[in-house]
Every structure is written in C-alpha cells, then in structure tokens.
C-alpha cells in the first residue's frame, strides 16, 4: 500500500480522497478549511501544512480551485516543495493553466521528483462514483506508479503526453462542453419560440445524430428551469479564460469559445456566477426576449 497525500478536500477532493482511503492506502490530508470529519474517522491523518503532507507521503495529490492555489500549495512557505525528497511524485488534479503547469513540473523535477498533471472530467457525481475521466501529462514511469491510485478514482484514464498535455486536454474538453451547451440552448430556444414543445423536441433529438450527453443532461435543465450547480459558471469562465489566453499565446483564433465566454459574462452580470453552466441559455433568452417553454407554461 502507498503513502498518499491529498491537499484540497472540497466538492471533488473529499470523495476522491475517500476512495483512496477505502482502497487501503495510508492517507495524509491538508486543507485551508477544517478536514471533513468522515475522512479523519476513516483513518486519514490530518496534517498542519502541505510540507507535513509531503514529509509523510510518497505520492502527493493536489485538488484546489485555480493556478494561484496550486502555486501556493506547492511553493508557498510550508508548502509541498519544502517537504519533498528525491523520488517522490506530485500529482496535480486541479484544472489549471497548461503553461504554468509546465513551469511547476520543471521546478518539481529539479528537486529530483516527478510531476503529473491529471485533471478530471465527470463532476461531483463522477468523483463520488469513482467514475472520473482522468487526462494525464507527464513521464511514463510516474504514470505507471500512480495508475493504481487513478484506478480507484476514475474509469477512463489516459496518458495524453508530456507535462502540460493533461491540462491542454482538459481545456479542449471545456471548449467542447461550452460550445455544445450553446448549441443546445440555441436549438431549444428556436424550437420553443417557433411554438414547438421543447421537452418533446429534446426527446425526439435524443434518438438522432444530434444526441449528446449535453442535450440529455443540460437540455433537460434548460427545459425544467433547474440551474442549481452542478458546475458553476465561474469555474467554466476560468477554463475558457485558459483557452482564450492559450489561443492568444499560440496566435490562433477561437471565435465561438470567445462568444461562449461573453454569454457566461452576461450571466455573471445578471448575478449568475454560481448558476449551473447550463444557464448560459439565459443570456440567449434575454437576446431573444423569449424563455424556453414559456408558451407551454402560459397555456397551463
Ligand atoms: P472547491 O472550491 O469545492 O474545493 C477546493 C478546496 O481547495 C477547498 O476546500 C479549499 O479550501 C482548498 N484549497 C484552496 N487553496 C488551498 C491551499 N493553498 N492549500 C490547501 N487547500 C487549499 O473546488 P472543487 O469543485 O473541488 O474543484 C477543484 C478543482 O477541480 C478545480 O480546478 C475545478 O475546476 C476542478 N473540477 C471541478 C469539477 C466540479 O464539478 N466541481 C469538475 C471537474 C473539475
């Protein structure tokens, strides 16, 4: 059994760490907030800092919100880097900048350790069910060593390439998700304004070429007007920001990613930073002066 560290025990990190403990591994944990009681009750050891976690564990996982949080968890005073010894492995499972990731990897590698970027897709549901998709960047030997831990947290686990490529893959994922939410929103809005029942339209389309998980899950949220997160608009804005900054650095244009970001910005301007990302449709509805399903609701 491995000695594993886990830093960042929020919506995603707490259930992921729980699976590692259930898998029988020694678990050392740290969060800026108090550590969840059920994790400690299951035998996880609460540490006072990232440095302590890294002193005890051989594989140290981070699952924090954004690039500056990973920077702080690894390199601030009493952070992970201060507790590392050569041979240890740092695994960042947060969704953060691919460019900064390469710099973090270089700094960790200079300490004689290995670094994997391993962001996930699948949300809170996937974290709890241990069915996450995990997109990994880094050296093959480190990947092979950490794979048994990934297997306890996820199902579809791919070594995409070198450091940064896991995060690049995650940004690509978030581009597809945002543009598909936008497409589903436009389609259901069009159908509803034209007088068709959007619930029936969604049902019919689920059997055809336009079927997708997003038409299924997010389309249903649009029809049922249920915009509790799920995945918060503010987190998707962070991810599209990474896409648009990356595109600028690469000298390419991502026109529809930019449009989706503007639609999220419009939602945020209306108080929607914490709405589920399917609520992007609300920005489209404002422009159309029509709410999906309003004809049916008016008819009673
Ligand atoms: P969260 O805000 O619920 O949890 C983050 C945790 O990190 C918090 O408990 C916070 O106290 C802790 N933290 C922050 N900085 C720290 C530091 N320096 N040291 C120790 N602890 C620190 O966030 P989340 O929803 O669990 O998301 C984590 C990451 O996973 C994000 O990058 C997010 O984009 C990604 N993600 C989230 C989802 C989702 O559906 N929530 C899905 C896929 C990927």
- pLDDT tens per residue across span 259-277: 999 999 999 999 999 999 9
- Atom number, ligand 1, closest to the C-alpha of residue 64: 7
Q: Rounded distance, CA 238 to CA 96, Å? A: 8
Q: Rounded distance, CA 198 to CA 214, Å? A: 15
Among this protein's residues, is 224 annotated catalytic? no
Q: Does residue 299 carry a pLDDT above 90?
A: no
Length of the chain: 300
Distance 58 CA to ligand 1 centre (A): 22
With both helix axes pointing from N to C terminus, report the angle between 13-22 and 140-153 in degrees, rounded to the nearest 10.
Answer: 90
**Half-sphere exposure in the Cβ direction for 58 (13 Å, CA):** 10
Pocket residue to mutate for ligand 1, from 31, 48, 91, most atoms within 8 A of Cβ: 31
Question: How sure is the predictor about 213, in pLDDT bands with cuts at 50, 70 and 90?
Answer: very high
* Alpha-carbon dihedral 292, 278, 266, 176, rounded to 10 degrees: -120
Catalytic residue among 77, 85, 170, 193: 170
Q: β-pairing, 132-137 with 120-121?
A: antiparallel
Q: Does residue 199 carry a pLDDT above 80?
A: yes
Two tokens at 186?
A: 């436009």
φ/ψ bin of 289: left (φ > 0), alpha (ψ from -120 to 50), beta (otherwise) = left
Work out the average pLDDT over 211-217: 96
**5 Cβ inside 6 Å of ligand 1:** no
| pLDDT number for residue 230 | 82
Distance 296 CA to ligand 1 centre (A): 39
Nearest to 78 by CA among 41, 42, 48, 117: 48
Q: Does residue 78 carry a pLDDT above 80?
A: yes
| pLDDT number for residue 216 | 96
Q: Rounded distance, CA 193 to CA 265, Å? A: 24
- The whole-model pTM stands at 0.94
Could you write out the three-class secondary structure of the chain? CCEEEEECCCCCHHHHHHHHHHCCCEEEEECCCCCCHHHHHCCCEECCCHHHHHHHCCEEEECCCCHHHHHHHHHCCCCHHHHCCCCCEEEECCCCCHHHHHHHHHHHHHCCCEEEECCEECHHHHHHHCCEEEEEECCHHHHHHHHHHHHHHEEEEEEEECCCHHHHHHHHHHHHHHHHHHHHHHHHHHHHHCCCCHHHHHHHHCCCCCCCHHHHHHHHHHHHCCCCCCCEHHHHHHHHHHHHHHHHHHCCCCHHHHHHHHHHHHHHHCCCCCCEHHHHHHHHHHHHCCCCCHHHHHHC
Pocket residue to mutate for ligand 1, from 9, 10, 34, most atoms within 8 A of Cβ: 10
Work out the average pLDDT over 15-23: 98
b/e per residue 135-153 (b: at least 16 CB within 10 A)? bbbbbeebbebbeebbebb
Two tokens at 193?
A: 């304004």
Tens of pLDDT, residues 36-58: 999 999 999 999 999 999 999 99
- Atom number, ligand 1, closest to the C-alpha of residue 33: 11
Work out the average pLDDT over 191-215: 97
Distance 93 CA to ligand 1 centre (A): 9
Tens of pLDDT, residues 90-105: 999 999 999 999 999 9
Question: How sure is the predictor about 192, in pLDDT bands with cuts at 50, 70 and 90?
Answer: very high
Question: How sure is the predictor about 233, in pLDDT bands with cuts at 50, 70 and 90?
Answer: very high
């Amino acid at each position: 059994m491995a000695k594993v560290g886990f830093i960042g025990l929020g919506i995603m990190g707490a259930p992921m760490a729980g699976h590692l403990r259930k898998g029988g591994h020694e678990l050392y944990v740290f969060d800026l907030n108090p550590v969840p009681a059920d994790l400690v009750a299951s035998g996880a050891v609460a540490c006072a800092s990232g440095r302590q976690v890294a002193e005890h564990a051989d594989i140290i996982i981070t699952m924090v919100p954004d690039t500056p949080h990973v920077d702080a968890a690894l390199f601030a005073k009493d952070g992970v880097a201060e507790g590392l010894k050569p041979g240890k492995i740092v695994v960042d499972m947060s969704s953060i900048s691919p460019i900064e990731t390469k710099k973090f990897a270089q700094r960790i590698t200079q300490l004689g350790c290995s670094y994997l970027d391993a962001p996930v897709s699948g949300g809170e549901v996937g974290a709890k069910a241990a069915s996450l998709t995990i997109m990994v960047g880094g050296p093959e030997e480190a990947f092979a060593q950490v794979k048994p831990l990934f297997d306890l947290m996820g199902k579809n686990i791919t070594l995409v390439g070198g450091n940064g490529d896991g995060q690049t893959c995650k940004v690509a994922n978030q581009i597809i998700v945002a543009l598909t939410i936008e497409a589903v929103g436009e389609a259901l809005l069009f159908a509803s304004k034209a007088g068709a029942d959007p619930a029936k339209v969604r049902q019919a389309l689920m059997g055809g070429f336009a079927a997708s998980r997003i038409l299924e899950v997010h389309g249903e949220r649009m029809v049922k007007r249920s915009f509790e997160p799920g995945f918060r608009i503010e987190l998707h804005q962070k991810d599209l920001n990474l896409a648009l900054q990356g595109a600028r650095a690469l000298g390419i244009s991502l026109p529809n990613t930019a449009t989706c970001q503007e639609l999220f910005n419009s939602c945020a301007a209306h108080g929607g930073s914490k709405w589920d990302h399917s609520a992007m449709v609300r920005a489209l509805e404002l422009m159309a002066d029509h709410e999906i399903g309003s004809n049916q609701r008016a008819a009673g």
